[in-house]
Amino acid sequence: MKQQIKGKKLLSAGLVLGVLCGANLITTEHKASAATVFTLTSTPASINLSELTPSLIKGSIEDLVPGSSYHTFNKNKSFYSTPLSINGVKYETGIGTHSRSEIGYDLNGQYTSLTANVGVDDQVAKGHGSVQFVVKADGKVIYESPVKKSGDPAEQIKVNISETKKLELIVLDADGSIVNDHANWANIKVHSAVNLSELTPILVKGSTESSSYHTFNKNKSFYSTPLSINGVKYETGIGTHSQSTIRYDLNGQYTSLTANVGVDDQVARGHGSVKFVIVADGEVIYTSPVKKSGDPAEQVKVNISGKHTLDLIVFDADGNIVNDHANWANAKLLP
């Protein structure tokens, strides 16, 4: 049997998957059930770091002037207790502090990335103050800013903190003096991965849809059993069947998709024969090898930065859809 993956066309024995931009995703030579359309889209899981309670606050100002009205940790306001502002841009959330300072958090490995805008607060005269921002994860430096002074644009930060247990935000003086070193960690957020199964697709289309079997099974297999590939069980994911398409509207909010894909263990070893395809904004970005029951899961990680439409496609690899119970196991979106 001839198969071809070329450009944006997917061909497989009697099935033509026309991967197109916009609303037209699949055309098929055999009859398939009508698509089920949903409307809810996705939102990344993000938390303002200022809402979390630090496990450590250490600063030179409070050490030098005990009992002063200035604090190393100011929630959603500057060191002077004014609205956070960097180079004329105001921020509703963040942390106002001063060099030299260290603010620590116990994250327990729950987050994947940290974002922030850092700089010297506008309460300081332009050109004054001189600081450097440092981020540590489990004792290792993962970010160092250039030297920042008042009037400089905010420095945008995005760092990977996957599996980090202890996070440290450090501000250093950059010229040997702490005078006017009013430092803002503005709009600082921690982000966690999102289980794709928790989001609502905008399109579900499959050739095997019936009253008993469904193209989209949340956190269970096509047979409604726990997801399992080659003896490994997964708590989250999507169970489906060839030929199928599951579409999400991501609004450009995520950077990558990870998953473990394969044929579910409910199928006898060596049976079933599928390929997994991922399409982002109409372009094929991933095609798996042929997978059968008993094969180890294929680990997937693809870049979806800025992508708006995500399509998860499963098609038969041998011209027969029998036993093609396909799992998108542990599928996650990373912000």
pLDDT digits (tens, 9 = 90+) for 250-273: 999 899 999 999 999 999 999 999
- Residues 271-328: pLDDT tens digits? 999 999 999 999 999 999 999 999 999 999 999 999 999 999 999 999 999 999 999 9
Yes or no: say if 195 and 115 are a contact pair by the CB < 8 Å rule: no
Distances (CA, A) of 57 to 9, 11, 52, 169, 171: 56, 60, 13, 10, 12
Q: Give me the mean pLDDT over the 74-102 stretch.
A: 97
Could you give the angle at the alpha carbon of 77 between the alpha carbons of 72 and 82, nearest 5°? Answer: 110
pLDDT at 298: 98
**CA pair distance 150, 157, nearest whole angstrom:** 18
**CA pair distance 192, 197, nearest whole angstrom:** 15
Q: What is the identity of the amino acid at 64?
A: L
- Residues 214-245: pLDDT tens digits? 899 999 999 999 999 999 999 999 999 999 99
Question: Does 20 have pLDDT greater than 80?
Answer: no
Question: Does 156 have pLDDT greater than 60?
Answer: yes
* Across 75-84, 93-102, 208-217, least confident range: 208-217
Q: Which sequence spans correspond to the domains of the chain?
A: 3-42+199-334, 45-192
Equal fold, 3-42+199-334 vs 45-192:
yes
Residue 318 or residue 41, greater confidence: 318
* Across 3-7, 145-149, 239-243, 295-299, least confident range: 3-7
Question: Does 18 have pLDDT greater than 60?
Answer: no
Average pLDDT, the chain: 86
Question: Does 155 have pLDDT greater than 60?
Answer: yes
Residue 13 or residue 260, greater confidence: 260
Question: Does 248 have pLDDT greater than 60?
Answer: yes
Assign a CATH topology to domain 45-192.
Jelly Rolls (2.60.120)
CATH 2.60.120.620 fits 3-42+199-334, yes or no: no
